[in-house]
Amino acid sequence: MIIRIFLTAVMALVAAALSAQTPVYLDNSADIEDRIEDVMKKLTTEEKIAMIHAQSKFSSPGVKRLGIPEIWMTDGPHGIRPEVFWDDWDQAGWTNDSCVAFPALTCLAATWNEELSYLYGTSIGEEARYRNKTVLLGPGVNIYRTPLNGRNFEYMGEDPFLASEMVVPYIKGVQSNGVAACVKHFALNNNEINRHTSNVIVDDRTLYEIYLPAFKAAVQEGGAWTVMGSYNLYRNQHGCHNEYLLNDILKGEWGFDGVVVSDWGGTHDTDQAIKNGLDLEFGSWTDGLSAGSKNAYDSYYLAAPYLERIRSGKVGTEELDDKVRRVLRLAFRTVMRQDRPMGSMLSDEHYEAARAIGDEGIVLLKNEGSVLPVRPSGDCRILVVGENAVKMMTVGGGSSSLKVQREVSPLKGIEDAFKGQAEVLYARGYIGDPSGEYNGVTTGQNLQDSRTPEELLAEAVSMAKEADYVIFIGGLNKSPHQDCEDSDRSGLGLPYGQDKLVSALAEANGNTIVVNISGNAVAMPWIDEVPAVVQAWYLGSEAGNSIADILSGAANPSGKLPFTFPAALEDCPAHSVGEYPGTRRNDGIWDIEYREGIFVGYRWYEKEKIRPLFAFGHGLSYTEFSYGKASSDSRTLSGDGSLNVSIEVSNTGEMTGKEVVQLYISDLKSSLPRPVKELKGFRKIELEPGETAEVTFTINKDDLSFFDADRHEWVAEPGKFKALIGSSSDDIRSEVTFELK
């Protein structure tokens, strides 16, 4: 009840801030530009060069002579990374650098709730500000192209519209604290295998319709102050100094006035870095002291080599001045603002926010016979099975690995939720990865177990036969080749023999509930054998409490999938017609061609009439929602006008719940191939039992447009369209036909 009262108040404030369409924290652009020009007159060329590259693993120097502070970065996007030594990744040994871990961004996207996205950004921004960070390295909005991508858990799904809508309030929330959000990885970083040597080949239409919209929204609507380049190549140039992506599109077409930051080790060439849009270079060597000079950071591509070119007359200073102006603009927006908020760390409000996001992001995939929520009666026994029920998930996975103050395990959350109602027992079931360490942060858990897989399975099955409910908590983890940076998965299936274990548990107990923890889709060969399946994601510090809230019914599930679960890997377009991981050239570069084009995710499954395991936008509730008949205020739409489509939605069940009403647009006749339908709107509404609400979507020409690569512009062709409204991409409840004049 306390959590509900708190979040009601917070949501009211968030809604007010969002409706104002203005960040709480303003950047006073006109005043900043005058101050920038004043500083530019006072800087030496050497000071300018120093400002555009790192001085340590996570900082760049200011100018002490002029009182310009250092710029400090921190990894996100799910929590504030622990402090490392000046020159390397090893832990600095601080005792006050723990954080609150928020749910992974896949979970945030699964909430389909912009207000929670703003709360997320505000909360993590407060933690970054309290630790005196200038830039939070996140959020990530790379599109989910293949379920094998080890870093998908850090992103916002397969649909460019959903990612665009969810990233904007996150950025505004972070930057309301005077901390810059750094949107990453720009662009086309859609696999981790060969990530430094993959050269993406994709047509312009696909680039603009699928892979760029979320970045554009982050810049033009969210007002992001920094953008991180990607490791991969595009048009045979690395993303961190890519002329087309950074100069032509980001800074040219979109008018980005912030700082382009290299990913750590993403810079490869001084001349390209000078000319092709990179502003701030980081991480060009793992150890900044090993280059054999007085200060190895002076050997970075944008350091001494750049200065030498200027002194010899090989290059001028026009590009340098532009880079420095951008870095100064970042400083004036953040570390040099006198009214910058103070931030807060490890607060009760942040834990409550993490739990609320987790509660709304968990997706109920299946619930036959209403086995969920669990309602103990009499002498009830609940058996929890699986390593993921006890394994800490905040440590590992790459740069998003965290050092937390606390992490509630699923087993602990379930024990607390059913205390006094049922006896909760535990069986290991399988051994996955008993280790728990990343960059010197250790979980402190001892998960070693000498028993054989057969012994573990036999124990779990024996206990399952005596239980009233079996809750299997498995899935992936953040070990290499699962959900982890710098490696991709080897296949769609669950590791460690989990499929065999689930089938055995289901045979032993008809009330077997599967809770899958992952940031990716997984195969479920046992799907017809179990009555209930829950997709739980990586939920951070409050993981166990959020999972228990859903299982017990303390929270009604309202999450919707932000990407499609394929029935088989070969159903995925990147693996059926596209290239993955690509073709290796003689120079060691891997060409990877996106032959599927715009048909990514549900667009492909519907085009090819392939039935997925679970569709994009799918998610069940403990209550029922009925949809009325959609209507529109006009059957025609003029080029510069708009029309409204409305529908009534009712809660016909017995429990208060939230529904995500989804709007898709279908072009009935087009000169170019188009998807069967595309997401163009959504609204999350909360209804009491018996309550009805009217949901209205406004449609304009932009919602009907496709990118014409030959003309290099967005085009909306006159003709007939359908507005499709439903509960998921494969569950359309009503439609309206209209015409664009």
Q: What is the mean pLDDT of the segment spanning 113-117?
A: 98
CA atoms within 13 A on the CB side of 363: 32
The confidence score (pLDDT) of residue 4 equals 46
Q: Are residues 670 and 722 in the same domain?
A: yes
- The CATH number of whichever domain residue 398 belongs to comes to 3.40.50.1700
Q: What percentage of residues in the chain have a pLDDT greater than 90?
A: 93
For residue 26, pLDDT beyond 50: no
Q: Residue 296 has what pLDDT?
A: 87
Confirm whether 27 is domain-assigned.
no
Would you state the pLDDT for residue 1? 44
Question: Distances in Å between the alpha carbon of 596 and those of 205, 573, 678?
Answer: 12, 6, 16
Number of domains in the chain: 3
Q: Quick check: 545 and 408 in contact, CB under 8 A? A: yes
Whether residue 70 is found in the same domain as residue 219: yes
Q: What pLDDT is stored for residue 639 in this prediction? A: 80
What is the pTM for the complete model shown? Answer: 0.95
| Residue 198 falls inside a structural domain | yes
Q: Are residues 107 and 214 in the same domain?
A: yes
Residue at 591 is within a domain: no
Inside any domain, residue 38: no
pLDDT of 8: 53
Give pLDDT tens digits for 256-272.
999 999 999 999 999 99
Are 384 and 437 part of one and the same domain? yes
Residue 167 lies in a domain: yes
Are 130 and 195 in a shared domain? yes
**Side chain identity, residue 477:** N
Question: Reduced to 3 states, what is the DSSP secondary structure of residue 741?
Answer: coil
Confidence of residue 735 (pLDDT cuts 50, 70, 90): very high
Is the separation of the CB atoms in 383 and 467 below 8 Å?
yes
Contacts of 531 (CB under 8 A, 6+ apart): 366, 367, 368, 369, 371, 510, 511, 512, 513
| The predicted structure's pLDDT at residue 469 | 98
**513 in a domain, yes or no?**
yes
Instruction: Give the model confidence (pLDDT) of 182-233 as tens digits.
Output: 999 999 999 999 999 999 999 999 999 999 999 999 999 999 999 999 999 9
Find the mean pLDDT for residues 559-568. 98
CA–CA separation, 682 and 138 (whole Å): 24
Three-state DSSP class for residue 591:
strand
274 forms beta bridges with none
Q: 75, 159, 263, 488: which is the annotated catalytic residue?
A: 263
Q: Is 420 found in the same domain as 280? A: no
Q: Are residues 394 and 447 in the same domain?
A: yes
Q: Rounded CA gap, 239 and 203, in Å? A: 16
Residue 3 lies in a domain: no
- Structural domain containing residue 513: 357-570
Q: Are residues 482 and 364 both part of a single domain?
A: yes
pLDDT of residue 17: 43
Q: How far apart are CA 116 and CA 126, in angstroms?
A: 15
Per residue in 367-379, pLDDT tens? 999 999 999 999 9
Compute the average pLDDT of residues 50-77.
Answer: 96
What's residue 290's pLDDT?
A: 61
Residue 19 pLDDT > 50: no
The whole-number average pLDDT for the span 601-608 is: 98
> What is the model's pLDDT at position 603?
98
- End of a domain among 284, 299, 333? 333
Checking if the pLDDT of 458 tops 50, the result is: yes
**CATH label of the domain that carries residue 637:** 2.60.40.10
Tell me how far apart the alpha carbons of residues 198 and 590 are, in angstroms, rounded to a whole number: 5
287 pLDDT higher than 70: no
Query: By C-alpha distance, which of 173, 81, 166, 167 is closest to 125?
Result: 173
Rounded Cα–Cα distance for residues 414 and 403 (Å): 23
**Shared domain check, 532 and 661:** no
Domain containing residue 223: CATH number: 3.20.20.300
Q: Give the DSSP per-residue string, 171-214.
A: HHHHHTTT-EEEEEEETT---STTTTTEEEE--HHHIIIIISHH
Confidence band of 88 (pLDDT split at 50, 70, 90): confident
Among 570, 589, 605, give the residue marking a domain's end. 570
Is 731 catalytic? The answer is no
State whether 217 and 142 are in the same domain: yes
Do 170 and 295 have their domain in common?
Answer: yes
End-to-end CA distance of the chain: 52
Task: Kindly state whether residue 611 falls inside one of the protein's structural domains.
Answer: no
Question: Is there a single domain that holds both residue 203 and residue 105?
Answer: yes
Query: What is the pLDDT, as a whole number, of residue 697?
Result: 98
- Nearest to residue 539, comparing CAs of 410, 665, 630? 410
Does residue 490 have a pLDDT over 70? yes
List the structure tokens of 345: 């760390």
Q: What is the pLDDT, as a whole number, of residue 14?
A: 52
Mean pLDDT of the chain: 95
> Among 158, 154, 211, 168, which residue's Cα sits nearest to residue 618?
158
The residue out of 534, 553, 570 marking a domain boundary is: 570
